Amino acid sequence: MARMNRPAPAEVCYKNMRLLITHNPTNSTLNSFIEDLKKYGATTVVRVCEVTYDKAPLEKDGITVVDWQFDDGAPPPSKVVEDWLSLLRSRFLEDPGCCVAVHCVAGLGRKRRGAINSKQLTYLEKYRPKQRLRYKDPHIFKNKCCIM
């Protein structure tokens, strides 16, 4: 079987947070997907699209899979944003420097010009952070804030 040419994962790092934006695997590409996750040390995967692969092999390797599906090309619903920020807050407080992976159907917006559609662009232009990732560093006793 010919191997599909999938884009490499894109790692985004900011302070103590590491995010990995990946392609949407299938059961036939799951082994290479898991290898990529392990290479970057990802312990959590967030799927925001329909299920295209069995998550059992990931969970067997200690990788948690979270499903927050919403329509492809649409901005995320408020509940997904709240859940996402809550997940990031807990993961990066528990394990600073850990890696959280996320993927949608195609992940086109991360590498191709023009891939972000007008609905997504309007959402980003109007988005106003509410400092929902504010936390206190117990070693410095100063408020730290990360805006996503």
Annotated catalytic residues are 72, 104
Q: Which residues contact 63 (CB under 8 A, 6 or more apart)?
A: 34, 37, 42, 43, 44, 45
Spatial distance between the Cα atoms of 147 and 144, rounded to a whole number of angstroms: 10
Beta strands in 10-134 (DSSP E): 10-14, 17-21, 42-47, 64-67, 99-103
Spatial distance between the Cα atoms of 36 and 67, rounded to a whole number of angstroms: 19
Residues 87 and 65: beta-carbon distance below 8 Å: no
Residues 42 and 19: beta-carbon distance below 8 Å: no
The tokens of 12 are what? 């985004």
Distances (CA, A) of 121 to 11, 24, 109, 125: 21, 22, 11, 6
